[in-house]
């Protein structure tokens, strides 16, 4: 049984009662409702699609996973401090099991780090994600995780 997390992109009202429960079809935990109208995905993880939708060179966050019945199952979360398209392109080149992505821009690198930490914890940490370890701040920063004692 998979133990992943679903971003529903159906009608937020209709699915909001599912948060905190298991999705009956996929047995995935539903932790968040994300309207699909914001343009942030899910998108197919291909170089062409990345070039098409990630048009700003900006710090940002992304999640990799797969699209299922009516949601997006997150398997990996990441960030970039300067260009969120860059790690997405390298993931796409590696032809991994990740077939889709969502992303968002961040106003500055610190915001990207905070969001990556929040996502990492919200989505189950290393227990359920493929992430091998807790998100790390850039080498020259002494930022603290907003959610736990790591880097505190």
Sign, CA dihedral 64-68-73-75, equals negative
Nearer to Zn ion, 22 or 134 (CB): 134
- At residue 67, φ and ψ (nearest 5 deg) are -90, 135
Binding mask 98-117 for Zn ion (x = CB under 5 A): -------------------x
8 A C-beta contact, residue 102 and residue 39: no
Helix, strand, or coil here: 45?
A: coil
User: Taking Cα atoms as reference points, which of 141, 150, 144, 52 lies closest to residue 103?
Assistant: 52
Nearer to Zn ion, 25 or 141 (CB): 141
Q: Give how many residues touch Zn ion by CB under 5 A.
A: 5
For the CB of residue 143, give the shortest distance to Zn ion in the complex, in Å: 11
For the CB of residue 56, give the shortest distance to Zn ion in the complex, in Å: 27
Binding mask 50-89 for Zn ion (x = CB under 5 A): ----------------------------------------
Footprint of Zn ion on 133-152 (CB under 5 A) = 145, 147-148, 150
Q: Judging by beta carbons within 10 Å of its beta carbon (0-12, 13-18, 19+), is residue 90 exposed, middle or buried?
A: exposed
Nearer to Zn ion, 32 or 134 (CB): 134
Q: What angle do CA 102, 125, 123 make, to 5 degrees?
A: 45
Q: Per rule CB under 5 A, is residue 123 in the interface with Zn ion?
A: no
Looking at the chain, the number of H-run helices and the number of E-run strands are 5, 6
Nearer to Zn ion, 14 or 148 (CB): 148
The footprint of Zn ion (CB under 5 A) covers 117, 145, 147-148, 150
């Amino acid at each position: 049984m998979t133990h992943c997390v679903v971003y529903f992109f159906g009608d937020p009202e209709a699915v909001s009662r599912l948060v905190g429960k298991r999705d009956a079809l996929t047995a995935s935990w539903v932790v968040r409702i994300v309207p699909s109208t914001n343009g942030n995905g899910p998108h197919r993880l291909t170089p062409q699609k990345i070039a098409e939708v990630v048009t700003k060179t900006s710090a940002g966050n992304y999640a990799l996973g797969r699209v299922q019945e009516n949601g997006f199952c997150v398997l990996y979360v990441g960030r970039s401090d300067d260009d969120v398209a860059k790690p997405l392109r390298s993931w796409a080149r590696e032809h991994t099991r990740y077939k889709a992505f969502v992303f968002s821009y961040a106003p500055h690198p610190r915001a990207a780090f905070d969001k990556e930490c929040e996502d990492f914890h919200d989505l189950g940490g290393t227990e359920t994600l493929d992430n091998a370890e807790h998100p790390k701040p850039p080498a020259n920063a002494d930022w603290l995780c907003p959610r736990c004692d790591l880097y505190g």
